[in-house]
Every structure is written in C-alpha cells, then in structure tokens.
Amino acid sequence: MAKWLMKSEPHVYSWDDLVRDGETDWDGVRNNAARLHLRAMREGDEAFFYHSNADKAVVGIMRIAGAQKPDGPDGAWVKVPVQPVRKLPRPVTLAEIKAEPKLAAMELVRQSRLSVSPVREEEWALILEMSAGA
DNA sequence: GCCAACGTTGGC
DNA sequence: GCCAACGTTGGC
C-alpha cells in the first residue's frame, strides 16, 4: 500500500472537519503533478493529513476509501474519497521535518507548493516515531 | 517554441 | 506583508 501526504488549510477544511464528516471527497486539486498522484492512489492507501498555513504540521492519518472520481464537469480533474483513521498522538511540525536529515528528500520539503505528494515507507515510519515521541 | 508577465501557494 | 518557487498565459 502506498503512502501519501495531502495538504489542507485548516480554516478551509481541517482534520476535525473530516472526523465530523466521517468521509469526504478530496477535491479541488488543480495542479498537474498533484493530479498524477491522485490518479495513482488506490483504495486502502494511507495518507497524512497536513495542515498548511497556521499549523504547518502533520496532524492525522486518513485512508483512501474508494476509487477516484471525476472532479468538475469536463472530467479533466479527479477527486478521491478519504476517511479519517486516527489522529497523531502529537502533531509533527514542518520545522521538525525540516530539521530531520532523513526527511530531507520528502516532496513536502523539496516542493513546498505541491498539495498532494508521495511519502516513502521509511519517511512514514519515522514521522510516526517522531509523533509518538522518543 | 521561447520567454516575460502574471497569478497562486505557502513559508517566514 | 513579503517573497520564493512554480505554473500558466500570451505575445512574438
């Protein structure tokens, strides 16, 4: 199962909103690189929920809950259904991620504007460790 | 097909 | 509020 990271501004749609809704379609992505990642997602993949702007932190884990669907009338863009899995014990901030040399290759760091990006297994595991607190 | 201008995202 | 990094648009 692949791992991903998806960004949202918390004042627009937050982790708590997702928990309240139970499931939502991750839509509105209008960037080609992000679209390619959305298309590569499969049901059962997991993704970090990242709060951009105010928080700048990974706050939770969600699950891709089904197949991608067209987003918009012409079908050029796609959206995927996601469900909350669990909140992280503690948010892992962008500052912490940038301070960790093992995470320097993350797309989150390398291309900060990309709203949907892949996460390597070892990066995923390390962020979970950081959240659990060493 | 190149590139300057402009718009957007998101960190600081 | 500013600016860097990108993406897109449009003139040539």
Higher pLDDT, A31 or A75: A31
What is the percentage of chain A residues whose pLDDT exceeds 70?
Answer: 99
Low-confidence winner among A4-8, A45-49, A76-80, A91-95 (lowest mean pLDDT): A76-80
- What pLDDT band is residue A18 in, cutting at 50, 70 and 90? very high
Distance (Å) from CA A114 to C1' B1? Answer: 27
Strand B nucleotides within a 7 Å radius of protein CB atoms? 8-12
3-state secondary structure of A74: coil
User: Within 7 Å: CB of A94 and strand B?
Assistant: yes
Distance (Å) from CA A41 to C1' B3? Answer: 35
Distance (Å) from CA A1 to C1' C6? Answer: 29
Q: What is the mean pLDDT of residues A57-84?
A: 93
- What pLDDT band is residue A75 in, cutting at 50, 70 and 90? confident
Q: Using the predicted structure, report yes or no on whether residue A134 has a pLDDT greater than 70.
A: no
Contact A106, A123 (CB under 8 A): yes
Go through the domains of chain A in sequence order and give each one's CATH number.
3-132 (3.10.590.10)
Nearest nucleotide by C1' position to the A32 CA atom: C7
Would you say the C-alpha torsion A23, A127, A7, A118 has a positive or negative sign? Answer: negative
Q: What is the mean pLDDT of residues A6-25?
A: 96
C-alpha distances out from residue A86 to A18, A19, A47, A112, Å: 11, 9, 11, 25
Q: What is the mean pLDDT of residues A103-114?
A: 93
Q: Using the predicted structure, report yes or no on whether residue A133 has a pLDDT greater than 90.
A: no
Averaged pLDDT score across all residues of chain A = 94
| pLDDT at site A12 | 92
User: Within 7 Å: CB of A115 and strand B?
Assistant: yes
Nearest residue to nucleotide B12 when comparing alpha carbons to its C1'? A53
